[in-house]
Amino acid sequence: MENFIAKVEAVNGAVNSFAWGPLMLLLLVGTGVFLTVKVKWLQVTHFGRILKNTVGTLFKKKAKTDHGANISPFQAVSTALAGTVGTGNIAGVTGAIFTGGAGAVFWMWVAAFFGMVTKYAEIVLAMKYRIKDENGVYHGGPMYYIENGIGKKWKWLAIVFCLLGGLASFGIGNIAQSSEISGALGDLFHFPPVLSGLLIAFVVALVTLGGIKRIGKVTELLVPFMSVFYILAGIILIIMRIGQVPAVFGRILAGAFSFKSVGGGLFGYTIMMAMKQGFARGVFSNEAGLGSAPIAHAASSTEEPCEQAVWGVFEVFIDTIVICSITAFAVLLSGILNADGGLSAYASKGAAAAAAFNTILPGTLGGKIIELSLLFFALSTILSWAYYGENCWGYLTKNNKTFLLVYKIIFALVCVVGAVGSGTLMWDIADTLNGLMAIPNLIALLMLSGVVAKVTRDYFADHMLKK
């Protein structure tokens, strides 16, 4: 049995090195560059309008609207943000800096800059090619814009995407997150892992069995709270060491373009590692190009594709440019990067992030903030990925109600597996599946880029420019 597991780990490691390797990362970011040119640098030329039509609308009083069987535009983006703002924003960014140096932060920003348009394009296509079931509920995502946009003969590619996404939901969207919640509950309230797992399973089942309407209502409350909580804590931390901020910017830029060899190694190794870690963290944190978030956005009651898609630009901005950057500055301002032992000196990447916050904030306050943030970030991610998985399996089974009910029950029970610390190999395999999801999605984005450009051109000409 041990030999079999070892072989599976070896195969998965080889595939993972491709799924999250330099070639795929360049393809992910390169697709963003290509789409950015196609829509004429939308994230720059219309950024003011995008903010006005996204976060700006939250401060306007609106009459209550009946969204029918679907969810509001803000609930849709909250559900998508719940999936993207996860443990990767804290633990992942910390690990990227330890591995790739301060320069990784710059390349993370680059990935996010172009990822804004990638996410925008995904949502445009998800909205344009979505379907409505017999209950009036919208379903959309890469599987639908592959089949209905590219053509029926490409349905096999949609099936591949759904298989990968459906399986990945148990690992990336469940086991990894349940493990983080269990650790946080143990540190904060001394809960044993089994009790944490049962509690997580109960909450997840309670929310997900209520469908997208209940998920949307929960994430609508959870995401703003957890985001503002972490952002405010980060702003306070940065203000406390404001004098060192210019030097940190200098380290980020210097590390991003350093061609020095490391330890007599390959010339340019430093910049390559910074670029790889930055691109990987940028893509992994905001999921631009992976095809998961447009599944949530497609459930919006909004009729105009671009009107919902501009939320995707804001989504990547808040996830990576704001939240990930706060983690990065905490690590770089704290000085833990220069401590003996590197990342191995800490129990986990999350523990390293907690140490960074504790170094600057008084007492153990910083660690508590990290633990609470990890708890909320991970829970929100589980809820979103439950919906992503449900839609992937729903596509494959023609939304068979019995099958989907069984999926939700199994998904909730898997939370217990993650909480007690088992299933590491499954997490690693799901990480690989998550990366492979991008391949069919990127193919569709490139083939339908002309559609995105036309829809965008018409919308900004007929709607936004008249305001």
Residue-by-residue DSSP string for 158-208: HHHHHHHHHHHHHIIIIIHHHHHHHHHHHHHH---HHHHHHHHHHHHHHHH
Helix axis angle, 365-396 to 176-189, nearest 10°: 150
138 phi and psi, to 5 degrees? -80, 145
How do residues 85-104 score in pLDDT, each as one tens digit?
Answer: 877 788 888 888 988 888 99
Does the pLDDT at position 1 exceed 70? no
Provide mean pLDDT across the span 44-57: 82
Does the pLDDT at position 265 exceed 60? no
Does the pLDDT at position 31 exceed 90? yes
Q: How far apart are CA 436 and CA 12, in angstroms?
A: 12
Provide mean pLDDT across the span 452-459: 94
64 pLDDT band, cuts 50/70/90, is low
**Do 212 and 391 meet the contact criterion of CB atoms below 8 Å apart?**
no
pLDDT at 23: 83
Where in the chain are the domains? Answer: 17-60+72-466
Q: How far apart are CA 162 and CA 119, in angstroms?
A: 18
Q: How many CB atoms lie within 10 A of CB 239?
A: 9
Domain at 17-60+72-466: CATH code: 1.20.1740
Average pLDDT over the chain reads 86
Q: How many CB atoms lie within 10 A of CB 45?
A: 12
pLDDT at 450: 96
How do residues 405-422 score in pLDDT, each as one tens digit?
Answer: 999 999 999 999 888 875
Q: Kindly report which listed range (2-11, 197-206, 433-442) carries the lowest average pLDDT score.
A: 2-11
Does the pLDDT at position 267 exceed 80? no
Q: Kindly report which listed range (95-109, 401-415, 452-466) carries the lowest average pLDDT score.
A: 452-466
Describe the chain by its helix, strand, coil percentages, rounded to 5: 80, 0, 20
Provide mean pLDDT across the span 117-132: 96
323 pLDDT band, cuts 50/70/90, is very high
49-88 CB burial, b ≥16 within 10 A, e <16: bbeebbeeeeeeeeeeeebeebbbbbbbbbbbbbbbbbbb
Q: How many CB atoms lie within 10 A of CB 442?
A: 21
Does the pLDDT at position 284 exceed 80? no
pLDDT at 158: 97
As a whole-number percent, the residues of the chain with pLDDT over 70 amount to 91
Provide mean pLDDT across the span 211-226: 87
58 pLDDT band, cuts 50/70/90, is low
Q: How far apart are CA 211 and CA 174, in angstroms?
A: 17
